[in-house]
Amino acid sequence: MMFKKILIANRGEIACRVAATAKKMGVRTVAVYSDADANAKHVLACDEAVHIGGSSPRESYLLGARVIAAAKATDAQAVHPGYGFLSENEAFAQACADAGLVFIGPPPSAIKAMGLKAESKQLMEKAGVPLVPGYHGAGQDPAMLKGEADRIGYPVLIKASAGGGGKGMRIVTKTEEFDAALASCKREAINSFGDDAVLIERYVTKPRHIEIQVFGDSQGNCVYLFERDCSVQRRHQKVLEEAPAPGMSEARRAEMGAAAVSAAKAVGYVGAGTVEFIAEPTADGDLKFFFMEMNTRLQVEHPVTEAITGLDLVEWQLRVAAGEPLPLQQHELRIHGHAIEARICAENPDSNFLPATGRLDVYRTPSDAVSFERGPHARVGAPNAPNAPVRIDAGVREGDAISPFYDSMIAKLIVWGADRAQALARLDAALAATHIVGLHTNVAFLRRVAASDSFAHADLDTALIERERAVLFNAPHLAIDLAAAGVVAHALAAEQALETTDPWSRRDGWRLHGSATRRFDIESQGTHHAFTLERSAGTQTLVNGTRRWPLAIAPRAANTYDVTLAEQRTTLTVYATGERFSVFSPDGSAVVDEFDPIAHSADGAVEAGGLAAPMPGKVIAFLAKAGDKVTQGQPLAVMEAMKMEHTIAAPRDGTIAELLYAVGDQVSEGGELLRMAPAP
Listed in sequence order, the residues at least 6 apart from 381 whose beta carbon sits closer than 8 Å to its beta carbon are 306, 307, 308, 309, 310, 336, 337, 339, 388, 416
CA distance 522 to 518: 13
Distance (Å, whole) CA 554 – CA 564? 9
Q: How far apart, in whole angstroms, are the C-alpha atoms of residue 117 and residue 270?
A: 19
Catalytic residue among 17, 297, 391, 535: 297
Crossing angle of helices 313-321 and 12-24, rounded to 10°: 70
Question: In whole angstroms, what separates CA 590 from the centre of its chain?
Answer: 21
**Cα distance between residue 595 and residue 597, in whole Å:** 6
3 state SS for 214-246: EEECCCCCEEEEEEEEEEEEECCEEEEEEECCC
Per-residue burial over 533-565, b if 16 or more Cβ lie within 10 Å, else e, is bbbeeeebbbbeeeeebebebeeeeebebebeb
Short-list 408, 444, 414, CA closest to 427: 414
Q: How far apart are CA 84 and CA 61, in angstroms?
A: 10
535 Cβ contact partners less than 8 Å away, ≥ 6 residues apart: 508, 509, 515, 516, 517, 518, 541
d(CA 636, CA 404): 22
**DSSP 8-class letter at 592:** E
Q: Active-site residue 364, yes or no?
A: no
Taking phi first (over 0 means left), then psi (-120 to 50 degrees means alpha), and beta for anything else, what does residue 36 get?
A: alpha
Instruction: Give the residue among 474, 440, 472, 476 at the shortest CA–CA distance from 455.
Output: 472
Query: In this structure, are residues 280 and 208 in contact, taking their beta carbons and an 8 Å threshold?
Result: yes
276 three-state secondary structure = strand
Q: Cα torsion for 578, 584, 588, 593, to the nearest 10°?
A: -20
Give the active site residues.
Answer: 297
